[in-house]
C-alpha cells in the first residue's frame, strides 16, 4: 500500500513509519525538524499549517505513485496549563496544527480517494478527545474537534469506499511530554495551587506509559484489516475503563472520579 503519514520525525509517527515500511508498504511522511532518517521511508519537509506545503506533499506522492491508499493524520502539538491563562494565540496554534492541519490534508486527499474508488484514513485523536482533561483543555478541545469532524465525514463518504477510523491513544512514553508547551504566567501557581501536583501526575503517567512501538503494531493491524472499526482506544486497561465509565456514569459522578485521579480534591 501507498501510505502517507504526517509528523514522522519522532514518537508515534516514527514508530508507525518504521513498522509499516518493514511490512512492505511504501511509506511517505512529513516532518518539520528531522533528527534521523529511517531506511525505506520517503521524507517530505512540510508544515501542516501552510496550505501550499500541504498541497505540495499530496502532489509529490501522487506524482510518484499515482494513488494514496492510506492517510494517517498524526501530526500534533500540546498546550498545557489552566485555561484561564491560555492565550488566544495559543488556542489558535493548538487548533491550527491539530485540527486545521488535518482539514488541510483531508481537503486534498478525500477527492483523490473518492476518484480512485476508496482508501483508508486514520486520524489521531486521544482519550483527551473523549473527555475534557484538566490543565489540558486546549489539547482536549482540538481532539474533540477531530472526533466530530471524522464522525460527520464517515457518513458523508460511506458510499465512496473510504474507511475512516479514529485512533484514541492513552498515555504513552514519547517526546510529546517534554515538548508540551505550557502557560508561563507567574500567577498560575498562586491562582491554581493544585496545578503543580496535577501536572506531576500527568507527566508521571505519560513517562511510565506504553511504548510507541506497541501502538505501531496495532496500527499495522488496522491498516490491513478488511473491516476496520470506527474508533480504537489504544491504552492501558485502566484508561480503557475510564472511557467506558464516561459513557455509562452520570456526568457529576465521572467528574468526581477525574478530579480524584488528577489530585484536584
Q: What is the DSSP string of 132-164?
A: --TT-HHHHHHHHHHHHHHHHHHHHTGGGTEEE
Of the given ranges (60-69, 83-92, 116-125, 207-216), which has the lowest mean pLDDT? 207-216
Residue 205 pLDDT greater than 80, yes or no = no
Extents of the domains making up the chain: 2-236
163 is catalytic: no
| Active-site entry in 139, 149, 195, 262 | 139
225 is catalytic: no
| Active-site entry in 31, 140, 143, 149 | 143
**Calpha distance 220→27 (Å, rounded):** 12
| Active-site entry in 9, 21, 183, 242 | 9
The order of strands in the sheet holding 119-124 is: 41-45, 26-31, 2-5, 70-73, 119-124, 162-169, 231-234
The confidence score (pLDDT) of residue 240 equals: 93
> pLDDT of 101-160, one tens digit each?
999 999 999 999 999 999 999 999 999 999 999 999 999 999 999 999 999 999 999 999
**Calpha distance 146→254 (Å, rounded):** 23
Residue pointed to by grid coordinates 512501538: 213
More confident: 210 or 149: 149
Length of the chain: 265
Percent with pLDDT over 70 in the chain: 99
Query: With bands split at pLDDT 50, 70 and 90, how would you rate the model's confidence at 173?
Result: confident
How far does Cα 126 stand from its chain's mean position? Answer: 6
The DSSP letter of residue 38 is P
| Active-site entry in 125, 126, 141, 165 | 125
- What is the average pLDDT score of the chain? 93
22 is catalytic: no
Residue 255 pLDDT greater than 90, yes or no = yes
The DSSP letter of residue 33 is S
More confident: 210 or 26: 26
Query: With bands split at pLDDT 50, 70 and 90, how would you rate the model's confidence at 36?
Result: confident
The confidence score (pLDDT) of residue 153 equals: 97
9 is catalytic: yes
Q: What is the mean pLDDT of residues 60-87?
A: 95
Of the given ranges (75-84, 197-206, 214-223), which has the lowest mean pLDDT? 197-206
The confidence score (pLDDT) of residue 177 equals: 65
Fold assignment, 2-236: Rossmann fold (3.40.50)
**Calpha distance 134→193 (Å, rounded):** 14
How far does Cα 210 stand from its chain's mean position? Answer: 15
Amino acid at each position: 500500500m501507498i501510505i502517507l503519514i504526517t509528523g514522522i520525525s519522532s514518537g508515534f509517527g516514527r514508530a508507525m513509519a518504521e513498522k509499516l515500511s518493514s511490512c512492505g508498504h511504501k511509506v511517505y511522511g512529513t516532518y518539520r525538524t528531522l533528527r534521523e532518517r529511517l531506511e525505506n521511508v520517503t521524507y517530505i519537509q512540510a508544515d501542516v499549517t501552510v496550505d501550499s506545503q500541504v498541497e505540495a506533499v499530496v502532489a509529490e506522492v501522487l506524482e510518484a505513485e499515482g494513488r494514496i491508499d492510506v492517510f494517517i493524520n498524526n501530526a500534533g502539538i500540546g498546550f498545557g496549563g489552566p485555561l484561564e491563562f491560555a492565550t488566544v494565540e495559543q488556542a489558535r496554534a493548538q487548533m491550527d496544527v491539530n485540527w486545521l492541519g488535518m482539514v488541510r490534508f483531508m481537503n486534498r486527499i478525500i477527492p483523490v480517494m473518492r476518484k480512485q474508488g476508496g482508501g483508508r484514513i486514520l486520524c489521531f485523536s486521544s482519550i483527551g478527545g473523549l473527555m475534557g482533561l484538566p490543565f489540558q483543555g486546549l489539547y482536549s478541545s482540538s481532539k474533540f474537534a477531530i472526533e466530530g469532524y471524522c464522525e460527520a465525514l464517515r457518513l458523508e463518504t460511506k458510499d465512496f469506499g473510504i474507511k475512516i477510523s479514529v485512533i484514541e491513544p492513552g498515555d504513552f512514553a514519547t517526546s510529546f511530554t517534554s515538548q508540551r508547551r505550557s502557560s508561563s504566567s507567574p500567577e498560575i501557581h498562586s491562582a491554581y495551587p493544585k496545578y503543580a501536583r496535577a501536572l506531576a501526575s500527568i507527566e508521571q503517567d505519560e513517562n511510565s506509559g506504553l511504548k510507541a512501538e506497541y501502538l505501531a503494531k496495532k496500527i499495522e493491524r488496522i491498516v490491513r484489516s478488511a473491516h476496520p472499526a470506527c474508533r480504537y482506544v489504544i491504552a492501558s486497561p485502566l484508561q480503557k475503563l475510564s472511557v467506558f465509565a464516561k459513557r455509562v456514569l452520570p456526568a457529576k459522578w465521572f467528574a468526581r472520579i477525574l478530579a480524584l485521579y488528577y489530585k484536584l480534591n
